[in-house]
Amino acid sequence: MHLRRPFVLAASGALIAAVCTTTTAQAQPTTPNAVPDAQTLAVSAAAGLVASRPAALHASADDVFLAQKAISATNGLKYIPYERSYKGLAVVGGDFVVATDSTGQVLGTSVAQDQTINLATTTAKVSKDAAETTARQQLSAVESISPAQQVVYALGTPTLAWKTTVVGRDAEGPSRLDVIVDAATGKVLRTQEHVMNGDGTSAYNRPNPVHLDTTVSGSTYSLKDPNLTNVSCQDAANNTTFSGPDDLWGNGNATSRETGCVDALFAAQTEKKMLTQWLGRNGFDGSGGGWPIRVGLNDQNAYYDGSQVQIGKNTAGQWISSLDVVAHELGHGIDDHTPGGISGAGTQEFVADVFGASTEWFANEPSGGDVPDFLVGETINLVGSGPIRNMYNPSALGDKNCYDSSVPNGEVHAAAGPGNHWFYLLAEGTNPTNGQPTSTTCNSSTITGLGVQSALKIFYNAMLLKTSSSSYLKYRTWTLTAAKNLFPGSCTEFNTVKAAWDAISVPAQSADPTCSATGTVTVSNPGNQSTVTGASVNLPLSASGGTAPYTWSATGLPAGLSISSSTGTISGTATTAGTSNVTVTATDSAGKPGTASFSWTVGTTGGCSGQKIANGGFESGATSWTGTTGSIGQWGSQGQAAHGGTYSSWLDGYGTTHTESIAQSVSIPAGCHASLTFYLHIDTAETTTSTAYDKLTVTNGSATLGSYSNLNKASGYVLKTIDVSSAAGGTLALKFTGTEDSSLQTSFVIDDVAVTLS
């Protein structure tokens, strides 16, 4: 089955919400931008570092390190988590992470432990039974307890301890609690809750019907994700996945469990797409999987407990599976399955809220649906008073806007206030221009936000540096480090992260990195220009690297032309014939310049000859191209040979919703004939012979020059020729845009692009 059109059923005069579903076999998406052997490089670089036992690890002679599965993120970053043992005993708080860049160079380490272990004895004074008795006393009702294991507890002064897990209930509901007991004194050193309680809303998603990926077996359909291991939506009464004879689900009424599951699975699949597209993460657990979601908890609550998500109801009996509630609970699962486990010291709920809000922004639903915001559970009617948390002004709902030393020991949901406020300032700033509310700071500073996507990327990469010693103070250091790792050569993101922490009163830490814009400013070269005497000119230039904003200047411009110092656009009317050598300079906010030089001919004919595209065969990599320049590379080893040379641009090929583009602008003198030629190869996993699901468009500004799709698949390259003479007397803003739908890959491979004048 490969359905894409929505089904809408009308019954009893009322419109009943149904769902549009895609039922697929396991797709095998290709990854055109993966760097060969990057994983191997990263793992061996980390192993080399660890083997050298640097001081940062606080390694004793009796420590043994065990690498865990490496985690890939965007921008070529890799994170290799490690666990530690001491004389054969597991070390709680012995964990650390090694981060590496796209070339396999070690960027740094993140280490939980701050003292070297040196125990006088590994013989416990407190018995195993006594430790288990103490652990049981931490819950009001105990269902089971795991046998206590001897460990070293190394958060603080390393201590011999017993570790066990008790399952049962406490005052807040279900509990699965790790308890660590001092093996010398019998005191509780630390507890760690694994059941994450949340709250929710009963909002519907729009537009209806919503699209779900489901599974079919024989003639029975089920609400089981076909691409994510272990993710389904079930009735909590019997833990049975909803199934039926057709692929239509729910009735639009939130008191129906099946409808609750429609919204829950939709939320999970939306969040999963965000993890893939924004963060490069493979599923909720990082290994392509997640947990069953069970609708029907008889409580005004929702929770994640390490093996499932349970969804309860509001006082009107509506199941509370809204985007932000479900994404929050699954956010706890992501936290649980990143290095260091569930975040501590008052940060766990803020971590989950970040995923809840970001998922709403990724979904970006229209009005009438769950319109993106920075409120948590805004349509909940639990007590009839709207949202349960406010990220731009936490104090509006009774939580703290600013961090202080009492926050880590406060109630976990209230403790989310300062962190939520930090995320809002990082994403939106103090005075957003997109209609979001203003936000005050605790130090009267003003901040320009980076946008939700960059903010989440920074936060998630900080989570990949997380250790078991997590706290607000540690997150400050980790997010600053993540901003540097993600945006090398730029301090804009780093400075915004820092300003946002300062703005909520999380103090500077001695471990905080510093940023100086060591990266160079690069001006993308527009190529040699030709203009007819008396013609008007509009040539926008762009720069990257360093610290924005840039200040622009130019030397050698033809008479009548000038450059805007703020935007970098050259404009005016070329009045005098001749050839000039132009150098444009962009200077970043730290005073670092970048330049580009080209010639500019002004004349009566403009010269109707020659080829205008720079690096049209991509053999100089991304030079002269803008857009998804990661699509440009040597893809021969991945089955995509170039047409000429070894480089080409490979757009799409993921089998998930994806848009990639490359662009280059050239000026075409007035009166010239101009011909665009390029070689195009298309392969696809789509089998349809009638529907264009995945498309490549070739455009000049808003004008479409050519359009291709999965229907044009062919084994080799095909030469395409398009007359672009209509651009004469101005700029040809050439752009190739590949757009994929949610399943079945289509690859558009482009090479040897030329614009020839005659």
Which residues would be at the binding site for Zn ion (CB under 5 A)? 196, 198, 349, 352
| Measured distance CA(192)–CA(470) in Å, rounded | 12
State in angstroms the smallest separation of the CB of 356 from Ca ion.
Answer: 7
Q: For residue 353, state whether it binds Ca ion (rule: CB under 5 A).
A: no
Q: For residue 635, state whether it binds Ca ion (rule: CB under 5 A).
A: no
Give the residue ranges of DSSP H helices in 413-491. Answer: 416-427, 452-463, 472-486
State in angstroms the smallest separation of the CB of 110 from Ca ion.
Answer: 31
Task: Pick one of 644, 670, 711, 756: the residue that binds Ca ion (CB under 5 A).
Answer: 644
Q: Which does 196 bind (CB under 5 to 8 A by kind): Zn ion, Ca ion, none?
A: Zn ion
State in angstroms the smallest separation of the CB of 27 from Ca ion.
Answer: 9
Q: Does a cis peptide bond (omega within 30 degrees of 0) precede residue 432?
A: no
Matching residue, tokens 């482009």? 750
> Of 244 and 645, which CB lies nearer to Ca ion in the complex structure?
645
Q: For residue 591, state whether it binds Ca ion (rule: CB under 5 A).
A: no
Q: Which does 450 bind (CB under 5 to 8 A by kind): Zn ion, Ca ion, none?
A: none
Q: 92 — phi, psi (to 5°)?
A: -75, 120
Q: Residue 387 is which amino acid?
A: P
Task: Pick one of 153, 162, 487, 647: the residue that binds Ca ion (CB under 5 A).
Answer: 647
Q: Residue 497 is which amino acid?
A: V
What is the 3-state secondary structure of 370-388? CCCCCEECCCCCCCCCCCC
| Measured distance CA(213)–CA(209) in Å, rounded | 13
Q: Which does 539 bind (CB under 5 to 8 A by kind): Zn ion, Ca ion, none?
A: none
If one counts every other C-beta atom within 10 angstroms of the C-beta of residue 227, the result is: 22
State in angstroms the smallest separation of the CB of 440 from Ca ion.
Answer: 20
> Of 416 and 724, which CB lies nearer to Zn ion in the complex structure?
416
> Of 274 and 602, which CB lies nearer to Ca ion in the complex structure?
274
Q: For residue 399, state whether it binds Ca ion (rule: CB under 5 A).
A: no
Query: And the tokens for 110?
Result: 């993140």
> Of 119 and 754, which CB lies nearer to Ca ion in the complex structure?
754
Q: Which does 325 bind (CB under 5 to 8 A by kind): Zn ion, Ca ion, none?
A: none
- Could you tell me how many residues make up the chain? 758
Q: For residue 694, state whether it binds Ca ion (rule: CB under 5 A).
A: yes
CB 450 within 8 A of CB 427: yes
Q: For residue 693, state whether it binds Ca ion (rule: CB under 5 A).
A: yes
| Site pattern 320..339 for Ca ion (x: CB under 5 A) | ----x---------------
Residues between 17 and 56 with contacts to Ca ion, criterion CB under 5 A? none
| Measured distance CA(429)–CA(452) in Å, rounded | 11
> Of 112 and 749, which CB lies nearer to Ca ion in the complex structure?
749
> Of 196 and 732, which CB lies nearer to Zn ion in the complex structure?
196
Q: Would you give the DSSP letter of residue 104?
A: S
Stretch that binds Ca ion, among 90-98, 402-410, 477-485, 750-758 (CB under 5 A): 750-758
Give Cβ neighbours of residue 14 (< 8 Å, ≥ 6 apart).
none
Q: Which does 617 bind (CB under 5 to 8 A by kind): Ca ion, Zn ion, none?
A: Ca ion
Considering CB under 5 A, how many residues would be counted as binding Ca ion? 15
Q: Which does 744 bind (CB under 5 to 8 A by kind): Zn ion, Ca ion, none?
A: Ca ion
Residues between 425 and 484 with contacts to Ca ion, criterion CB under 5 A? none
State yes or no: is 329 an active-site residue: yes
State in angstroms the smallest separation of the CB of 617 from Ca ion.
Answer: 4
Q: For residue 513, state whether it binds Ca ion (rule: CB under 5 A).
A: no
Stretch that binds Ca ion, among 404-412, 514-522, 620-628, 746-754 (CB under 5 A): 746-754
Q: Which does 213 bind (CB under 5 to 8 A by kind): Ca ion, Zn ion, none?
A: none
Q: For residue 622, state whether it binds Ca ion (rule: CB under 5 A).
A: no
Give Cβ neighbours of residue 494 (< 8 Å, ≥ 6 apart).
480, 483, 484, 487, 513, 515
Q: How far is CA 719 from the centre of its chain?
A: 37
Task: Pick one of 561, 642, 672, 749: the residue that binds Ca ion (CB under 5 A).
Answer: 642
Q: For residue 744, state whether it binds Ca ion (rule: CB under 5 A).
A: yes
Give the residue ranges of DSSP H helices in 309-364. Answer: 323-336, 348-363
What is the 3-state secondary structure of 685-717? CCCCCCCCCCEEEEEECCEEEEEEEHHHCCCCC
DSSP 157-190: S-EEEEEEEEEEEETTEEEEEEEEEETTT--EEE
Q: Which does 198 bind (CB under 5 to 8 A by kind): Zn ion, Ca ion, none?
A: Zn ion
Stretch that binds Ca ion, among 136-144, 282-290, 447-455, 743-751 (CB under 5 A): 743-751
Please tell me which residue in 193, 271, 329, 493 is annotated as part of the active site.
329
Q: Would you give the DSSP letter of residue 338?
A: S
Q: Residue 398 is which amino acid?
A: G
Task: Pick one of 741, 749, 750, 753: the residue that binds Ca ion (CB under 5 A).
Answer: 741
DSSP H or E run through 647: none
Q: 613 — phi, psi (to 5°)?
A: -75, 130
> Of 255 and 634, which CB lies nearer to Ca ion in the complex structure?
634
Query: And the tokens for 567?
Result: 């935007």
Residues between 360 and 389 with contacts to Ca ion, criterion CB under 5 A? 373, 375, 378
State in angstroms the smallest separation of the CB of 416 from Zn ion.
Answer: 8
Please tell me which residue in 58, 328, 337, 413 is annotated as part of the active site.
413
DSSP H or E run through 651: strand 648-652
Q: Which does 519 bind (CB under 5 to 8 A by kind): Zn ion, Ca ion, none?
A: none
State in angstroms the smallest separation of the CB of 287 from Zn ion.
Answer: 22
> Of 200 and 372, which CB lies nearer to Zn ion in the complex structure?
200
> How does strand 309-311 pair with strand 293-295?
parallel
> Of 203 and 447, which CB lies nearer to Zn ion in the complex structure?
203
State in angstroms the smallest separation of the CB of 304 from Zn ion.
Answer: 7
State in angstroms the smallest separation of the CB of 353 from Ca ion.
Answer: 9
DSSP H or E run through 679: strand 674-684
> Of 305 and 324, which CB lies nearer to Ca ion in the complex structure?
324
Query: And the tokens for 405?
Result: 């030393």
Q: For residue 391, state whether it binds Ca ion (rule: CB under 5 A).
A: no
State in angstroms the smallest separation of the CB of 337 from Zn ion.
Answer: 15
| Measured distance CA(530)–CA(107) in Å, rounded | 45
CB 110 within 8 A of CB 122: no
DSSP H or E run through 501: helix 492-503
**Coil, strand, or helix at residue 625?**
coil
Q: Which does 751 bind (CB under 5 to 8 A by kind): Zn ion, Ca ion, none?
A: Ca ion
Q: Which does 352 bind (CB under 5 to 8 A by kind): Zn ion, Ca ion, none?
A: Zn ion
DSSP 189-248: EEEEE--EEE--B-PPPSSSSEEEEEEEETTEEESB-SSSBT-BEEETTTTEE-EESSS-
Q: Which residues pair with 165 in a beta bridge?
A: 178
> Of 177 and 196, which CB lies nearer to Zn ion in the complex structure?
196
CB 452 within 8 A of CB 436: no
Q: For residue 751, state whether it binds Ca ion (rule: CB under 5 A).
A: yes
Task: Pick one of 645, 704, 726, 758: the residue that binds Ca ion (CB under 5 A).
Answer: 645
> Of 196 and 363, which CB lies nearer to Zn ion in the complex structure?
196
| Measured distance CA(186)–CA(168) in Å, rounded | 22
Gyration radius of the chain's alpha carbons: 29
Q: For residue 181, state whether it binds Ca ion (rule: CB under 5 A).
A: no
Buried b (16+ CB within 10 A) or exposed e, 487-522: bebbbbbbbbbbbbbbbbbbeeeeebbebebebebb
State in angstroms the smallest separation of the CB of 608 from Ca ion.
Answer: 26
CB 552 within 8 A of CB 541: yes
> Of 341 and 655, which CB lies nearer to Ca ion in the complex structure?
655
State in angstroms the smallest separation of the CB of 73 from Ca ion.
Answer: 25
State in angstroms the smallest separation of the CB of 355 from Ca ion.
Answer: 12
Contacting positions for Ca ion (CB under 5 A) = 324, 373, 375, 378, 617-618, 642, 644-645, 647, 693-694, 741, 744, 751
Active site residues: 329, 413
